[in-house]
Amino acid sequence: MSDATGALGADIAPEQAKTPQARVAGAMRGFAQEIGALSAFRLESCIHCGICADACHFYIATEDPQYTPIWKVEPFKQAYKREASPLAPLYRLLGLKREVTADELMKWQHLLFDSCNMCGRCSLICPMGIDVAALIEQARHAMFEAGLAPKELYQKAAHQRSTGQPEASAEPYRDQLLAIGQRFGVEIPLDKSDAEVMLCVPRTDIEHYPSAVAALARVMQHLGVSCTFRSDGLVAENYGYYAGGKSWQREISLRLIEQAIACSANILLVPECGHAYTALRWEAADLYGKPLPFKVRHVTEFLADELEAGRLKLAPAGTGKTTFHDPCQLVRKGGVNDAPRALMKAMGIELNELKNHGGFSFCCGGGGGVLDIERAAPLRYRTMENKLREIDDTGAQTFLTSCSDCRRTFDDAQAHFSWNKAPHSLLELVAKNLSGVGNRT
Amino acid sequence: MDLLGFARGPALKVALAIFCLGVVWRIVGFALLRLRRDHNAPRRGVLAFLTGGLVTVGSRSWPHPEFIARTGAGEALGYSYHIGLFIVVLLFTPHIIFLGSLFGFTWPGLPSSLITVVSVLTLTLFLAVLFRRVTNPVMRMLSNFDDYFSWFITALVLLTGLAATTHIGGPYEKLLAVHILSVDALLIWFPFGKLMHAFYIFPSRAINGALLARKGAVS
């Protein structure tokens, strides 16, 4: 088996030090907490056909069997069968399933984090209908409890949990946000006590794409929507989700939930950030323990609704031949398929779809925290080649997406491969082509 | 009691009892685990949830066009031997008579000569899937005792059945006894291994489809 990262084994932060026994105990505890009827059924149903490999861009790019999606949860499948399955007493009595070891878990860090974007494409191919991506997310929770989340994800999650920001910055994000408003000449609504919509922002946009932050504020201002950012709940990303730290994911989500409640928001608007959408739209209420008292909407969904209601009018964008990358977390795992297309159509864009698009789109390669894991870069680049080829094959001059992490991954590929295309934000394109005057009162 | 009497008498009764109890235990064993309530607001309602589940039961029988180039041949091979098995098990007249004694009704069968041809073809496909399992690096890595033993026991039933109907390898009664004993063994093994997928496949697809439909996502 080849190892494209050249780094099998675990790469962990010093604060994650544990004895081997504590790692195994943590992993088993973490996994046991997740075992419900649904995940047990998924684990029971696998027939070892290996078809899921053919949906995974890591396997397709390398033909290395270790990247078979269901193999990525193998230690946990064994642990389930030995400890919790209906036949567990038999397996233990006859010694048919051995205990998982700390060494095994350390090796699996590469498979569960470096080589999985949690994109969910494997969940669409399984003839048994197993949601493999859901199992991988559970296995990540177990790895976190074992102290085996990759150090980059662990440290960012720890920082975000305690400060609200995944990393320290020279200026707090709040001040950077206001500076972006001044720089781009747009009002940044901040810390209003009452607003219809609460906004948050990807730290990727603050650090790399301030024009996207300005675009969000500009569009909301144009529509006349009562909205606000909140200093104590600014960051959309959730590194707890990436790292597999479920309790940390909860704490990070709660920061936003509490702020949305504090300003009586009806909508928590997720900016162009795919995994933030999954974390807030499809997981936050479970972590909160009850339904959220507001709606969670991706910005493209919100704008498509405004378009349909006649409150948003857009001018032709004149982008020429255009293609669009569907962020996995929004489309395949989130169901936001039509909204971006409605916005593009309203700007007169004739879309040249990628060969694999919509729910079947290949991941950019950076999702699931992989972009942050330094040692995963060589493998990530290898898996991206197919995606870049698909984009080139459309012959498009303009390449759009609606997730800033995807955008950053493609920008990184542009630098790495000297690729001749740059990804653009759909939101920014909308902000540039606003037409008429928003008619909200 | 002769071997045939044992095979279709006490051995079959014990095998059927283990089969039934085992299958129930394999299902109840995890169905009793907790089922978390999903508090996240659905994009689509209950109707979409239910239809999404039902549609996926059927649609997942064949790969989406995006996947066919990579998986179509493998899936076709898999379905072919399953179809062969269904024909032999459900449309061979002696089997229909046996199943009729269990369920209380019968249905028309196919001529024995045709069943023999289908059996030979199915056995050939069985060899092909075994060859694929040991030569395909992904399948070889995933495979364990369960995969090989489940293959062996099913192939054995087919082979002994073929021998009994063609009278090759010994006197008919002895061949029939061996065939029924192999069926008994399969029934006993069934709840302990991957043959359980016969019970899991449709609910599993339905759950995946329903949960994705709840989000408004493709399944």
Can you tell me the ipTM of this complex? 0.95
One-letter amino acid at A47 equals I
User: Chain A window 298-337: which residues touch B at a Cβ cutoff of 8 Å?
Assistant: 331-337
Nearest to A326 by CA among B215, B59, B48, B217: B217
Given this model, what pLDDT does residue A440 score? 60
Q: In order of start, what are the domains of chain A with their CATH numbers?
A: 14-149 (1.10.1060), 153-311 (no CATH), 322-432 (3.40.50)
Nearest to A371 by CA among A117, A62, A147, A112: A117
Strands, DSSP E only, in A173-266? 197-199, 227-229
Residue in the block written with tokens 């290949």: A362
Which of helix, strand or coil describes residue A219?
helix
Q: Which two tokens stand for residue B196?
A: 């359980």
Determine, for residues A44 and B203 on separate chains, whether the beta-carbon distance falls below 8 Å: no
Determine, for residues B216 and A51 on separate chains, whether the beta-carbon distance falls below 8 Å: no
B86-104: b or e for each residue (b if 16 or more CB lie within 10 Å)?
ebbeebbeebbebbeeeee
Q: Is the dihedral of CA A41, A115, A10, A276 positive or negative?
A: negative
Q: In order of start, what are the domains of chain B with their CATH numbers?
A: 3-24+48-63+71-215 (1.20.950.20)
- Using a CB-CB cut-off of 8 Å, the residues of chain B touching A358 are 218
Determine, for residues A50 and B71 on separate chains, whether the beta-carbon distance falls below 8 Å: no
**How far is the C-alpha of A306 from the C-alpha of A290, rounded, in Å?**
28
Q: Is the dihedral of CA B10, B13, B15, B17 positive or negative?
A: negative
Question: How many contacts does A have with B, using Cβ atoms within 8 A?
Answer: 166
Query: For strand A434-435 and strand A313-314, is the pairing parallel, antiparallel, or unpaired?
Result: antiparallel
**How far is the C-alpha of A237 from the C-alpha of A252, rounded, in Å?**
9
Q: Which two tokens stand for residue A5?
A: 């990262």
Given this model, what pLDDT does residue A2 score? 38
Q: Which of B38, B66, B135, B140 to mutate to test the interface with A (most CBs of A within 10 A)?
A: B66
Which of helix, strand or coil describes residue A51?
helix
With contact defined as beta carbons under 8 Å apart, do A9 and A103 qualify? no
Determine, for residues A48 and B194 on separate chains, whether the beta-carbon distance falls below 8 Å: yes
User: pTM to 2 decimals?
Assistant: 0.95
Torsion-angle region of A129 (φ positive above 0: left; ψ -120 to 50: alpha; else: beta) = left
Given this model, what pLDDT does residue B73 score? 96
**How far is the C-alpha of A418 from the C-alpha of A388, rounded, in Å?**
11
Determine, for residues B216 and A335 on separate chains, whether the beta-carbon distance falls below 8 Å: yes
Determine, for residues A87 and B75 on separate chains, whether the beta-carbon distance falls below 8 Å: no
- Using a CB-CB cut-off of 8 Å, the residues of chain B touching A85 are 29-30
- Using a CB-CB cut-off of 8 Å, the residues of chain B touching A42 are 204
CA distance B141 to chain A (A): 7
DSSP letters along A52-121, please?
Answer: GGGG-HHHHHH--GGG-GGGGGHHHHHHHHHHTSTTHHHHHHHT-SPPP-HHHHHHHHIIIIIT-----G
Determine, for residues B34 and A295 on separate chains, whether the beta-carbon distance falls below 8 Å: no
Nearest to A78 by CA among A20, A125, A10, A31: A31
Q: Is the dihedral of CA A74, A79, A85, A87 positive or negative?
A: positive
Q: How far is the first Cα of chain A from the last one, in angstroms, to the nearest whole number?
A: 63
Closest in B36, B78, B218 to A286, CB measured:
B36
What DSSP element (H or E) covers A323?
A: strand A322-325
Rg (Cα) of chain B, in Å, rounded? 20
Q: Is the dihedral of CA A71, A73, A74, A80 positive or negative?
A: negative
With contact defined as beta carbons under 8 Å apart, do A189 and A219 qualify? no
Q: Helices marked H in chain B — which ranges?
A: 3-6, 12-31, 46-59, 65-91, 93-103, 112-135, 137-142, 145-166, 172-189, 197-215
- Using a CB-CB cut-off of 8 Å, the residues of chain B touching A84 are 33
Angle between helices B112-135 and B145-166 (to 10 degrees): 160
Torsion of CA B23, B25, B26, B29, to 10 degrees: 160
B43-49, Cβ contacts within 8 angstroms, sequence gap of 24 or more: B43/A335, B43/B214, B43/B215, B43/B216, B44/B213, B44/B214, B44/B215, B44/B216, B48/B213, B48/B214, B48/B216, B49/B210, B49/B213, B49/B214
Which of helix, strand or coil describes residue B109?
coil
**How far is the C-alpha of B206 from the C-alpha of A163, rounded, in Å?**
42
Q: Is the dihedral of CA B29, B31, B34, B36 positive or negative?
A: positive
**How far is the C-alpha of A295 from the C-alpha of A184, rounded, in Å?**
29
Q: How far is CA A336 from the centre of its chain?
A: 14
* Regions of chain A short of the pLDDT cut 50: 1-7, 441
Given this model, what pLDDT does residue A97 score? 86
Determine, for residues B208 and A47 on separate chains, whether the beta-carbon distance falls below 8 Å: no
* Regions of chain B short of the pLDDT cut 70: none
Given this model, what pLDDT does residue A7 score? 44
